């Protein structure tokens, strides 16, 4: 179909045809507006504020969220998680995966289109490109223009802002592993060769490359999620589709011409949906693996429909069932199974968090000397106790012996630990008097904190016959 009469097309003298979305291997998209774009800006804005802002929040005198690699402690506002708690992290990640499966089954690749960091950063970089170098046709012209002051200035402005955004991303990301205030001060004092600074530059370089240069190729060739997402789709999944029954036969026409008289459908073949697509595909060719579900083509086509005076929705969120004039089901057996699994795992997570101990105690019996006799003639066994205060508050503990009245500690034992402090110490347990028979008895070390919460650890006491 010819596009020469299309009133919506900007004359493309000396420019590639509207079909060409890739120039020198880079997709060159057109800017657009619309309700899904606004939704994405809102979602990305909230995520960006959370990502860049959360590490600067302090809680109880500490950074609110910090994965402290030195001490191997993960602070999340109040609670501190330790390597022993990593099962909980695994559970959170499995719940996240099931949520993603369920959302994909309902609404297709909304994660990719609206919240995936690769997409969000790519859209942000494209926005900067649009501000500094102009819209699609200006960028295509700039690309083929000879070197000039204006070209260098525009390119320089774009790359400067990209680099600033990349470094900000690197600082924000590494700031979740190294206290962000300390990290920022070190960078401002030109300490650029420390391990933390090198990680900032590595993350910044990856951001600059991924969002500035590689862009949609990450989605098309590197992201595993794109490979298996179709397994989660069914006839009722909402996907972005072109309504071929309404749109075909495609062709240009004047706004006041009746398409029915021309033997045409509602698609004016303007290629706007193709030119805004960040992966450079034509949605009118049907559902494709390359579609990241960003809905840019819906916004672009709705704008065209508005200008032509046609009803919106030639490209829309719909399901295969709806396109075949069948009802779209919300509740499906597999979705119910996902929801059930999520609810069960959330219950397990709640239970595990509630049962999580805030102090850790481990006991190892001294194996070099099973027992010894002290100067009073009592039997003594020696143990090594390792006690960890897993909270972010100072804690006071008392240690007792339980379950065998013959056993006692050599003295009343109290302990003050700083937040996250670990002590490793020997501990003697005494059995008063002699026993007619040798043997072994079981008892508990009992640690009581200032809130009278107890932690128990079982141990064995070995005694000879005297
Ligand atoms: S589907 Fe819409 S945006 Fe795409 S070519 Fe047809 S009229 Fe233009
Ligand atoms: S086809 Fe539409 S929804 Fe899919 S990636 Fe392209 S613009 Fe986004």
Tokens of 6: 């299309």
CA of 30 to the centre of ligand 1 (A): 14
The residue contributing the CA closest to ligand 2 atom 4 is 291
pLDDT of residue 27: 84
Gap between the Cα atoms of 23 and 359, Å rounded: 60
pLDDT of residue 10: 34
Q: Is 301 in the pocket of ligand 2 (CB under 6 A)?
A: no
Query: What is the gyration radius of the CA atoms in the chain, in angstroms?
Result: 33
CA of 238 to the centre of ligand 1 (A): 20
CA of 35 to the centre of ligand 1 (A): 17
Residue written as token pair 């490209």: 315
pLDDT of residue 7: 35
67 DSSP 8-state letter: E
pLDDT of residue 77: 85
Domains, the chain, ordered by start:
31-81+116-232 (no CATH), 359-463 (2.60.40.10)
The residue contributing the CA closest to ligand 1 atom 6 is 267
Gap between the Cα atoms of 343 and 79, Å rounded: 23
The residue contributing the CA closest to ligand 2 atom 2 is 297
Q: Is 277 in the pocket of ligand 1 (CB under 6 A)?
A: no
Ligand 1 pocket, mutate which of 10, 273, 281 (most atoms under 8 A from CB): 273
pLDDT of residue 48: 92
Q: Is 283 in the pocket of ligand 2 (CB under 6 A)?
A: yes
Mean pLDDT taken over the chain: 89
CA of 256 to the centre of ligand 1 (A): 17
Q: Is 291 in the pocket of ligand 2 (CB under 6 A)?
A: yes
How long is the chain? 466
Instruction: Give the residue among 79, 101, 161, 164 at the shortest CA–CA distance from 126.
Output: 161
Q: Is 180 in the pocket of ligand 2 (CB under 6 A)?
A: no
Q: What string of H, E and C letters represents the secondary structure of 182-221?
A: HHHHHHHCCCCCCHHHHHHHHHHHHHHHHHHHHCHHHHHH
- pLDDT at position 8 over 70: no
- pLDDT at position 148 over 90: yes
**In the chain, what percentage of residues exceed pLDDT 70?**
94
pLDDT of residue 5: 39
Gap between the Cα atoms of 388 and 36, Å rounded: 50
Distance of CA 240 to the CA centre of its chain: 24
pLDDT of residue 451: 83
pLDDT of residue 205: 98
Decide if 233 contacts 108 (C-beta within 8 A).
Answer: yes
pLDDT of residue 306: 96
Of 36-40, 169-173, 369-373, the range with the lowest mean pLDDT is 369-373
Instruction: Give the residue among 230, 239, 287 at the shortest CA–CA distance from 107.
Output: 239
Q: Is 239 in the pocket of ligand 2 (CB under 6 A)?
A: no
CA of 90 to the centre of ligand 2 (A): 33
Residue written as token pair 């899904």: 36
Decide if 227 contacts 190 (C-beta within 8 A).
Answer: no
CA of 267 to the centre of ligand 2 (A): 17
pLDDT of residue 434: 67
pLDDT of residue 195: 92
Residue written as token pair 């194996």: 367
Instruction: Give the residue among 56, 62, 64 at the shortest CA–CA distance from 181.
Output: 56
28: helix, strand or coil:
coil
pLDDT of residue 24: 65
Q: Is 281 in the pocket of ligand 2 (CB under 6 A)?
A: yes
Instruction: Give the residue among 38, 39, 18 at the shortest CA–CA distance from 29.
Output: 18
The residue contributing the CA closest to ligand 1 atom 1 is 267
Residue written as token pair 């290629």: 271
Residue written as token pair 């500035």: 212
Which has more pLDDT, 95 or 373?
Answer: 95
Q: What is the DSSP string of 380-404?
A: EEEEEEEEEE-SSS-EEEEEEEES-
Instruction: Give the residue among 144, 127, 147, 145 at the shortest CA–CA distance from 135.
Output: 127
Q: Is 165 in the pocket of ligand 2 (CB under 6 A)?
A: no
Q: Is 219 in the pocket of ligand 2 (CB under 6 A)?
A: no
Gap between the Cα atoms of 184 and 191, Å rounded: 10
Decide if 163 contacts 125 (C-beta within 8 A).
Answer: no
Q: Is 273 in the pocket of ligand 1 (CB under 6 A)?
A: yes
pLDDT in tens, 251-274: 999 988 999 999 999 999 999 999
CA of 272 to the centre of ligand 1 (A): 6
pLDDT in tens, 30-84: 999 999 999 999 998 999 999 999 999 998 778 999 998 888 888 888 788 888 8
Tokens of 167: 């470094």
pLDDT in tens, 420-445: 888 999 999 999 876 778 889 999 99
- pLDDT at position 2 over 50: no
Q: Is 267 in the pocket of ligand 1 (CB under 6 A)?
A: yes
Burial tier of 42 (Cβ tally within 10 Å: 0-12, 13-18, 19+): exposed
pLDDT in tens, 323-352: 888 888 888 999 999 999 999 999 999 999
What are the C-alpha distances in Å from 107 to residues 196, 318, 324, 337? 40, 9, 18, 17
pLDDT of residue 336: 95
CA of 257 to the centre of ligand 1 (A): 17
- pLDDT at position 186 over 60: yes
Q: Is 240 in the pocket of ligand 2 (CB under 6 A)?
A: yes
pLDDT of residue 230: 75
């Amino acid at each position: 179909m010819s596009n020469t009469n299309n009133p919506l097309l900007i004359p493309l003298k000396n420019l590639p045809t509207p079909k060409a979305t890739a120039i020198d291997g880079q997709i060159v998209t057109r800017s657009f507006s619309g309700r899904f774009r606004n939704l994405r800006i809102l979602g990305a804005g909230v995520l960006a504020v959370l990502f860049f802002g959360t590490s600067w929040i302090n809680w109880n005198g500490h950074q609110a969220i910090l994965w402290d690699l030195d001490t191997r402690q993960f602070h999340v506002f109040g609670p501190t998680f330790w390597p022993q708690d990593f099962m909980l992290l695994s559970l959170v990640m499995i719940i996240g995966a099931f949520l993603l499966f369920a959302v994909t089954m309902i609404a297709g690749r909304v994660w990719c289109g609206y919240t995936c960091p690769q997409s969000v950063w790519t859209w942000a970089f494209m926005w900067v490109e649009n501000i500094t170098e102009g819209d699609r046709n200006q960028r295509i012209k700039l690309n083929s223009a000879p070197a000039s002051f204006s070209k260098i200035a525009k390119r320089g402005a774009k790359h400067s802002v990209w680099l600033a955004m990349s470094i900000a991303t690197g600082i924000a990301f590494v700031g979740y592993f190294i206290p962000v205030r300390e990290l920022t001060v070190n960078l401002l004092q030109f300490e650029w060769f420390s391990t933390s600074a090198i990680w900032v530059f590595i993350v910044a370089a990856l951001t600059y490359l991924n969002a500035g240069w590689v862009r949609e190729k990450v989605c098309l060739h590197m992201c595993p999620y794109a490979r298996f997402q179709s397994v989660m789709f069914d006839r009722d999944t909402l996907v972005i589709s072109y309504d071929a029954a309404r749109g075909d036969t495609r062709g240009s026409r004047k706004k006041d011409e009746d398409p029915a008289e021309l033997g045409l459908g509602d698609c004016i073949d303007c290629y706007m949906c193709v030119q805004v697509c960040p992966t450079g595909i034509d949605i009118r060719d049907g559902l494709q693996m390359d579609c990241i579900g960003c809905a840019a083509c819906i916004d672009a086509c709705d704008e065209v429909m508005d200008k032509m005076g046609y009803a919106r929705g030639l490209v829309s969120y719909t399901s295969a069932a709806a396109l075949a004039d069948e009802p779209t089901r919300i509740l499906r057996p597999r979705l119910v199974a996902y929801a059930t699994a999520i609810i069960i795992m959330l219950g397990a997570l709640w239970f595990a968090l509630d049962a999580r101990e805030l102090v850790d105690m481990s006991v190892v019996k001294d194996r070099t000397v099973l027992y010894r006799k002290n100067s009073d003639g009592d039997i003594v066994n020696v143990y090594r106790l390792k006690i960890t205060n897993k909270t972010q508050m100072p804690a006071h503990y008392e240690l007792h012996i339980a379950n065998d009245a013959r056993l006692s500690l050599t003295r009343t034992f109290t302990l003050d630990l700083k937040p996250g402090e670990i002590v490793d110490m020997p501990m003697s347990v005494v059995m008063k008097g002699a026993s007619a028979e040798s043997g072994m008895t079981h008892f508990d070390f009992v640690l009581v904190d200032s809130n009278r919460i107890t932690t128990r650890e079982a141990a064995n006491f070995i005694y000879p016959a005297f």
